[in-house]
Amino acid sequence: MYSPNQSKEKTLFDGSFESGDLSNWGVVNDSINQWIAGAATAYEGTYSGYISNDGSNNTYTGNIAQVSHIYFNVKFPRFLSAADLEFEWRCLGEPKFDYMRVYMVAPNNTPIAGTALGNKYSIGTSNYKRDITASTGTGRNKKTTTETAYEYQASPVWRKEYIPLDLSGIRNREKRFVFSWINSADENTFNPPIALDNVKVTTVMPMKYH
């Protein structure tokens, strides 16, 4: 017998790359290391989304600073207080210099090629947490602040990630999720760069809302 209190998982965004393109995503690429959908690697199926410096292989150029983004929007039901962002990922990258960050921002915040979003918008789990200290001013006016960012790197094998999303108190129910590849102009290159698969936003909702 049906009960209004019954619930089931609902997918609010399905970012599969099996179409072989990035048609479900907004794309803002830098000049060399760019997001593509390709068959050079995949967690499952044929295609994944990844950074490439030649339009085919999952490789990057590490001696020129680059920031490239892909993103999508999700509108959350007004009664929803929690959801999950999940994906598979693989990335080696030079430690602390070449990595992927994930951001949750306002739906009209469109990223710019070559520019990383603010650390405060970065989301992730504790395994990938990095505290970044910055100083402003000089002498008596010098101030030091610490911000937290989450950086996905140092794994040449595929990993599964679940990022819990706390939606309580959020008035604007639409959010933009940005996946950014960031690499420095250091001479060191640690391939492969980021690759993504099975990107989803899911939640558990009462049956009456399905």
3 against 122, higher pLDDT: 122
Phi, psi of 187 (to 5 degrees): -70, -15
The single-letter code of the amino acid at 64 is I
Query: Minimum mean pLDDT among 16-20, 130-134, 150-154, 167-171: which range?
Result: 167-171
Which domains are seen in the chain, by residue range? 7-121+150-209 (2.60.120.200)
Give the mean pLDDT of the chain.
92
Assess whether pLDDT exceeds 80 at residue 3.
no
Assess whether pLDDT exceeds 50 at residue 1.
no
User: Strand 122-123 vs strand 129-136: parallel, antiparallel, or unpaired?
Assistant: unpaired
User: Nearest to residue 88, comparing CAs of 41, 25, 131, 54?
Assistant: 41
Cis bond upstream, residue 192 (ω within 30): yes
Task: Give yes or no for a contact between 182 and 99, defined as CB atoms under 8 angstroms apart.
Answer: yes
pLDDT tens-digit series, residues 83-130: 999 999 999 999 999 999 999 999 999 999 999 999 999 999 999 999
- Mention every residue, 6+ apart, whose C-beta is less than 8 A from residue 183: 33, 60, 62, 65, 66, 67, 93, 94, 97, 98, 99, 193
Assess whether pLDDT exceeds 70 at residue 12.
yes
Phi, psi of 121 (to 5 degrees): -90, -5
What pLDDT is attached to residue 7? 62
pLDDT tens-digit series, residues 132-154: 987 777 878 888 889 999 999 99
Assess whether pLDDT exceeds 50 at residue 131.
yes
